[in-house]
Structure 1
Amino acid sequence: MSETADSRKELDARGLLCPMPVIRTEERIKQLAPGSVLEVRASDPGVLYDIPSWCRVNGHTVLKSREEFEEQVVIVRVKDA
């Protein structure tokens, strides 16, 4: 599946502390179709480690993770069925 601007979903987890960004990511991914792309924005620097670890355990793919100003951004592709 090719990614388009319309296919990328967003999750605002700013202001949440561990483990809530991961929990919200999990809840949101359950609502998405396989192959969808989710961009998570958070203020907790731990998400740069926590979300990729959760993705490895659950079979999702981290496409990119970065710090952007004072936010952390993790882009995840939902695993295929």
Structure 2
Amino acid sequence: MEITQEIDAIGLLCPLPVLRLRKVLEGLPSGAVVRLIASDGASWIDVPHFCGQTGHELISAEDTGKTKIYLVRRR
């Protein structure tokens, strides 16, 4: 799977990781995949909720302890 763009949201608090994800996805073509790396624990709830509300596909979510890593495919 090819990652189109990566977002480093480490150190940013809610809702900034999701806002950055939304902005990046808006500028990409359908099917593009974005990797979001965040340290805010609230992103564990916010990113899946955002994807569910907007129709983007949450491909994976990984909790490494210090960071959360998400792969999201643009609808």
Shorter-chain-normalised TM-score: which range? over 0.9
Which residue of 1 is the match for residue 52 of structure 2?
56
Unaligned runs of at least 5 residues, structure 1:
none
Which residue of 1 is the match for residue 61 of structure 2?
65
Unaligned runs of at least 5 residues, structure 2:
none
Q: Deviations over 1:12-69 (max 9, x none)?
A: 1111000111111100101111000000000101111101101100000000001114
Distance in 2, matches of 1:36 and 1:66, equals: 19
Q: TM-score, normalised by structure 2?
A: 0.92
Q: TM-score, normalised by structure 1?
A: 0.86
> What's the % identity of the aligned pairs?
32
Runs (4+) of structure 1 exceeding 4 A deviation are: none
1:62·1:75 contact (CA, 8 Å) conserved in 2?
yes
Which of these residues, 21, 35, 54, is aligned with residue 31 of structure 2? 35
Over alpha carbons, which structure has the higher Rg? 1
Counting matched residue pairs gives 75
The answer to whether structure 1 residue 17 and structure 2 residue 21 are counterparts is no
